[in-house]
Chain A
Amino acid sequence: MADRYIEPETPEMRERWGSFTFNETWDAKAKAAIARYPDGRQKSAVMALLDFAQRQVGEETDTQGWLPIPVMEYVAVYLDMPVIRVVEVATFYTMYNLVPVGKFHVQLCGTTPCWLRGSDEIMERCKARGMKKGHTTEDGLWTLTEVECMGNCSSAPMVQINDGNYEDLTAERFDAVLDALAKGETPKEGTQDPDRHTVEPVGGPTTLTAMVGENHDYRGEW
């Protein structure tokens, strides 16, 4: 996160994004988001609007999307608020991309549970494909970011790629996911362990076993 920076403004960026406006779909969503707040408090919708803007940029560039400076200015004007306040929000939350990203934004969790379950191995696989932390690959396909806990510790290790989580990874499973994405397929989200449905214990319950068939009162055994 220490590497976060705002993509410097250039005349090319101005030219490409200076005329950015919400398209019909996102404009409707933006209006709906603003309508959730009382009159005069429309700036409360800034987080939603930045997200919508990033997604629309993503659609236009066929990536996860990011927030060029003119787009942040557009959101500020849309909400009638000072642009510095919009930039404060955009820089605070790591879900907003401040620099262009690739088609797939691979966010690899490296926090303790994932690390103990082999996130280093996943990182190796990423590097083998030419990914580098904080950078986008030459072909524009992958952007790698190492992130902190995403709350999937019971199915560690995990990566989040754009809006989908891929859990219970091993090097092979991870490669399979990336290969499928690269081919334009849509791999199954969630756990990649064929023996698991969600985060239930593999091979059946290991605790509260007496509860599997019927309700059981454990209180006498405490």
Chain B
Amino acid sequence: MPKVTVDGQEIEVPAGATVLQACELAGKEIPRFCYHERLSIAGNCRMCLVEVKPGPPKPQASCALPATDGQEIRTDSEMVKKAREGVMEFLLINHPLDCPICDQGGECDLQDQSVAYGRGATRYEENKRAVTEKYMGPLIKTTMTRCIHCTRCVRFSEEIAGVDEIGALYRGENMQITTYLEHAAKHELSANVIDLCPVGALTSRPYAFEARPWELKKTLGIDVMDAVGANIRIDSRGREVLRIQPRINDDVNEEWIADKSRYAVDGLTRRRLDKVWIRKRGKLEASSWDEAFKKIKAAKAGDAIAAVYGDLVDCETMFAAKALLKACGSTLMEGRQTGLVYDTSSLPAVNFNTTLAEIENADAVLVIGSQIRHEAPLLNVRLRKAAKKGAKFFHVGPEYDTTYPATFLGNDLSVLNSLSSEVVDAMKGAERPAIIVGGAALGRGALNKALALAAEFNVVKDGWNGFNSLHFSPSRMGGLLLGLAQKGGMADIVAAKPKVLLSLGADEMDFTVFPDALKVYIGHHGDKGAHAADIILPAAAFPEKAGTYVNIEGRVQRSEKAVFAPGDAREDWTILRALADALGVSVGFDSYNELRAAMFADTPALANEGLAVSGGTLPAGGGDASGVIGNYPIADPYLTNPILRASPTMQRCSAELWHGEEIAEAAE
């Protein structure tokens, strides 16, 4: 551990640290543009210059200089001040003075740092450089004249996303950042370059000219577009959510989020259910809460009431429904809408046990029936890191571009019954082997075989649990923790022939198998569920209610309420509470706090944030796997839920990026 002196303060830094990191440890702020903790070191912006002795008598780029024993670093000397002023002046030579019309204004590194470290005025009187705009797809808006060539976006797409598509063409003053032939950036994390861009060169296209950062109310939330549970910040103004940004959580999403998490917001204001609707003579008509509740009561369901929960609901909603059903004398609740059936009696068997942060250390991974890149993009980022460290990957399922080297073993699950010696040797020889069972395999009964393989390959050892199930429904783990699953899945609900069927935002289910039930849809978007419903009760979408979510690794996280639901829409739990009154039963809570207390009493695992499913032994499993995975369950990753389907941005992404349609640019 080298000891260095920063501005007279002696500190010990970890071996391999850079001078910049040493300065940060000492509490000194080092301005920078190109350096980023999660990307490789480029050293091309020169903003991080400091004075280092021993060494040449000139300022040194601290981001690329290793800290060594006995270094004397100064960040406050006249030389450093002048160096920063000089670099800043050079950077600003070709940077346009268009802050008033720039979307980065107010959250711009260049703006902030020129105030803090610049000279205050320019001495440059020549013409500035101008660069043509580059087309980077429907999400990223470019103003390349503002680019300062930090190459963060280039490094991100190469290193993190694993899709080499952004590059720096030409040289010197003429350098330009562009995608290959200005094709749209085609990967599921592309919009993270907008956050990375320290200036306004890459900004958000759908959010262009919408708001200034200081106008926005920032609310801490949890993303529900996939089951990873990325930590997000919901930026809203008035009653409208304007954008979603990632929050840093090294255990979950580091500091990235998937494009669909970021751009689902414009779906929140479209196709919303903001009135009560009742189907009369085959036609939906606007109605009132009272009438709707009367109608449900008139169905005289008794204990013949069932509930199916959708992918986006929070634990509180699920628990409120569970309590309502319990009060009616029913336990018919299920969330695996598409009819998936697998054994849910053991939570560790259906959990992502390795955890997202630890899976980076796996050295051999067998992925069974999962298109991870589109089912959980942020998990794919972790797996790429493992692959870079030399992990071997074997996939069972149709081939797709994994963004890391992987061997595909074929579409037929029966390959698991007699794995080739290459796979067996790799898995058995691995120090930290992992198995990931995806939805395509869970639905074909491969869970037991996977558990048997887990025992055979010894994936659970001291300090390492390599057995993982991967869901893509954000409500799945919460529902399973609450015990809301039937042994036979949806088939059990169908067989019970309920008189009243509550659909809690369940849009992917088949309603035609319930011809005699009164179908009550409690949800927020006019999607498939609302089309099939007899009664529609408008509810709140995820930014409009506080809620508890459990991600794939069984991590309990809480999201806060950012805005109010539109029109007559109410928070889901209040609807269920009112319905209990209408049905004349008691659920045992009158307020949100009482609801939470009851939920914690029912399922103590939800009481504390953090990993709820840890430890516990895996069931033995056994048997053989069979079945061919023709397609992965996600047909279009940009349109997996009602919010996304309502979002014009996501529709365009789907058309342009997924289906490859040519979209003509409107003349601006």
Chain A positions near chain B (C-beta within 8 angstroms): 1-2, 4, 6, 9, 69, 82-85, 87-88, 91-92
Contacts and interface: CB of A to CB of B under 8 A. Distances in A.
Say whether chain B's binding surface is mostly helix, strand, loop, or mixed: mixed
13 contacts: A4-B170, A4-B174, A69-B181, A82-B164, A83-B180, A84-B165, A84-B167, A84-B179, A87-B169, A88-B168, A91-B171, A92-B169, A92-B170
A87 B167 contact: yes
Interface string B162-194: 001111111111100001110000000000000
Interface of B: 164-174, 179-181
Contacts of B167: 84-85, 87-88
Q: Considering the complex of A and B, which 4 residue pairs feature the smallest CB-CB distances, nearest first?
A: A82-B164, A84-B167, A91-B169, A84-B180
A89 to B, nearest CB: 10
Contact of A84 (B164, B172, B173, B174): B164
Given A82-B180, A88-B167, A91-B169, 19 more contacts: A1-B171, A1-B172, A1-B174, A4-B170, A6-B169, A82-B164, A82-B165, A83-B180, A84-B165, A84-B166, A84-B179, A84-B180, A85-B164, A85-B167, A87-B167, A88-B169, A91-B170, A91-B171, A92-B171
A88 B157 CA distance: 15
Nearest to A84: B167
A95 to B, nearest CB: 12
Given A9-B181, A69-B181, A2 B174 contact: yes
A85 B174 CA distance: 17
A82 B168 CA distance: 13
Nearest to A2: B174
Contacts, number: 34
A83 B167 CA distance: 10
A88 B167 CA distance: 7
Contacts of B171: 1, 91-92
Contacts of B180: 82-84, 87
Contacts of B165: 82, 84
A124 to B, nearest CB: 28
A155 B74 CA distance: 49
A9 B181 CA distance: 9
Nearest to B158: A82
Nearest to B181: A9
A91 B169 CA distance: 6
Q: Which of A1, A6, A83, A84 has the most CB of B within 10 A?
A: A84
Nearest to A8: B181
A123 B459 CA distance: 74
A200 B213 CA distance: 68
A85 B169 CA distance: 9
Contacts of B179: 84
A179 B531 CA distance: 81
A130 B82 CA distance: 51
B303 to A, nearest CB: 61
A2 B131 CA distance: 11
Contacts of A83: 180
Contacts of B174: 1-2, 4
A41 to B, nearest CB: 16
Contacts of A2: 173-174
Contacts of A1: 171-172, 174
A92 B167 CA distance: 11
A85 B173 CA distance: 19
A81 to B, nearest CB: 8
B527 to A, nearest CB: 39
A182 to B, nearest CB: 33
B86 to A, nearest CB: 25
A91 B581 CA distance: 72
Nearest to A91: B169
A211 B287 CA distance: 111
B197 to A, nearest CB: 18
Contacts of B166: 84
A122 B168 CA distance: 35
A88 B168 CA distance: 6
A69 B169 CA distance: 14
B294 to A, nearest CB: 64
A148 to B, nearest CB: 11
A2 B169 CA distance: 12
Nearest to B174: A2
A212 B26 CA distance: 66
Contacts of A9: 181
A1 B170 CA distance: 9
B142 to A, nearest CB: 16
A14 to B, nearest CB: 12
A91 B168 CA distance: 9
A139 B172 CA distance: 33
Nearest to A69: B181
A137 B179 CA distance: 32
A84 B166 CA distance: 7
Nearest to B129: A2
A26 B180 CA distance: 26
Contacts of A85: 164, 167
Nearest to A3: B174
A92 B174 CA distance: 10
Residue among A6, A85, A87, A91 with the highest chain B CB neighbour number at 10 A: A91
A4 B174 CA distance: 9
Contacts of A69: 181
Nearest to A5: B170
Nearest to B172: A1
Nearest to B176: A91
Contacts of B164: 82, 84-85
A2 B173 CA distance: 8
A82 B172 CA distance: 22
A69 B180 CA distance: 10
A197 B179 CA distance: 50
Contacts of A4: 170, 174
Nearest to B157: A84
A13 to B, nearest CB: 12
Contacts of A92: 169-171
A2 B166 CA distance: 21
B135 to A, nearest CB: 13
B384 to A, nearest CB: 15
- Of B168, B170, B171, chain A has the most CB atoms within 10 Å of the CB of B170
A97 to B, nearest CB: 14
Contacts of A91: 169-171
Contacts of B169: 6, 87-88, 91-92
Contacts of A84: 164-167, 179-180
B640 to A, nearest CB: 29
Contacts of B168: 88
Nearest to A94: B171
A67 to B, nearest CB: 13
B619 to A, nearest CB: 43
A133 to B, nearest CB: 16
Nearest to B169: A91
A85 to B, nearest CB: 6
B203 to A, nearest CB: 22
Nearest to A83: B180
Contacts of A6: 169
Contacts of B172: 1
A83 B180 CA distance: 8
A82 to B, nearest CB: 3
B161 to A, nearest CB: 12
The CB with the most chain B CB atoms within 10 A, among A9, A83, A88, is that of A88
B127 to A, nearest CB: 12
B180 to A, nearest CB: 4
